[in-house]
């Protein structure tokens, strides 16, 4: 059995994910606002439509909270034998990948992730069903360390 502790994601990852929530909410509010301004010029809008902004705000609050819950479940570790990733709230998954079965490791970083110095690291196996195991929003330094340690095997 391994005794190495599980690593949580960095707090920056949580900030990034919440920023994404805000950006998405902002876009929805923008579209909604445009609709509420423009549509009355052509036709009357039903009265319940004025509740939509409140619904969006409520949904944003829930998403903000949920992002935190989900974030706290993410964890990973690299032991002498295994790469382990834990994730999921409603459906909780623990992936165990034997290091000798790792075919290749890829990292990707979107523009927002780069701003935060984060990236997503994916470990590929020859498995026919799972194919790959991803850790989203890892610190770039951590990802480099993982890559280096995997390269040493």
Partner 1 sequence: MTAAPTAGWRRLHPLTVFKELGGLAWAIVAALVLDFEQIPFPVDFVDADVIVAIAVFGYAVTRYFFTAYRITDRTLELRRGVFVKSLQVMPRERVQAVNAITGFVGRILGVTTVEVSAADAEDIKLGFVSEEEGERLRLVLEVDAGLADEDEEKLPEPLASIDPGKLVLYGLTQTSLAIFILVVVGAIVVAIVIGNAFLPLPTLFVAFWPVFQTVNLVGFRSWLEHDRIRAEAGVIGKRRAESPLDRIQVVEVLRPPLRRLLGYETVRIVTGDAGVSPESLRIAGMVAPLRPLGQWREVADPLVGTVLLDEGDLEESSRLTIRRAAVRGGLLVAALVAGAWVAGRLVDWGWWPALVVALAGAVVVGLYAVARWKVLGWAVSDRYLVVRRGVVDQRLTVTPIHKVQDVTVRQTFFQHRLGIANVEVDTAGVMGTGRILAVDLRVHRARELADHLAEAAARVALPDGV
| Residue nearer to partner 1 on the CB measure, 2 or 23 | 2
Look at residues 118, 104, 150, 149 and name the one whose alpha carbon lies nearest to residue 13: 118
The span from the CA of 74 to the CA of 85, in Å, is 8
Cβ at position 105, least distance to partner 1 in Å: 13
Question: What six digits make up the tokens of 74?
Answer: 């993410």
Element (H, E) at 51: none
Q: Which of 58, 61, 94, 145 binds partner 1 (CB under 8 A)?
A: 94
128 binds partner 1 (CB under 8 A): yes
First to last CA, the chain: 19
Q: How far is the CB of 89 from partner 1 (least distance, A)?
A: 8
- Residues between 47 and 86 with contacts to partner 1, criterion CB under 8 A: 81-82
Nearest to 44 by CA among 33, 36, 56: 36
Shortest Å distance, C-beta 78 to partner 1: 12
Name the site residues for partner 1 (rule: CB under 8 A). Answer: 1-2, 81-82, 90-103, 125-130, 133
């Amino acid at each position: 059995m391994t005794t190495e502790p599980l690593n949580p994601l960095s707090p920056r990852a949580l900030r990034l994910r919440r920023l994404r929530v805000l950006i998405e909410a902002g876009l929805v509010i923008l579209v909604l606002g445009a609709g509420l301004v423009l549509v009355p010029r052509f036709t009357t809008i039903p009265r319940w439509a004025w509740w939509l902004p409140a619904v969006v705000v409520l949904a944003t609050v829930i998403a903000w909270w949920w992002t935190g819950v989900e974030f706290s479940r993410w964890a990973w570790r690299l032991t002498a034998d295994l790469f382990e990733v834990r994730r999921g709230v409603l459906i909780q998954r623990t992936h165990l990948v034997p290091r000798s079965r790792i075919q290749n490791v890829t990292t990707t970083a979107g523009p927002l992730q780069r701003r935060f110095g984060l990236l997503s690291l994916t470990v590929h196996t020859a498995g026919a069903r799972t194919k790959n195991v991803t850790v989203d929003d890892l610190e770039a330094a951590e990802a480099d360390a993982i890559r280096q340690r995997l390269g040493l095997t």
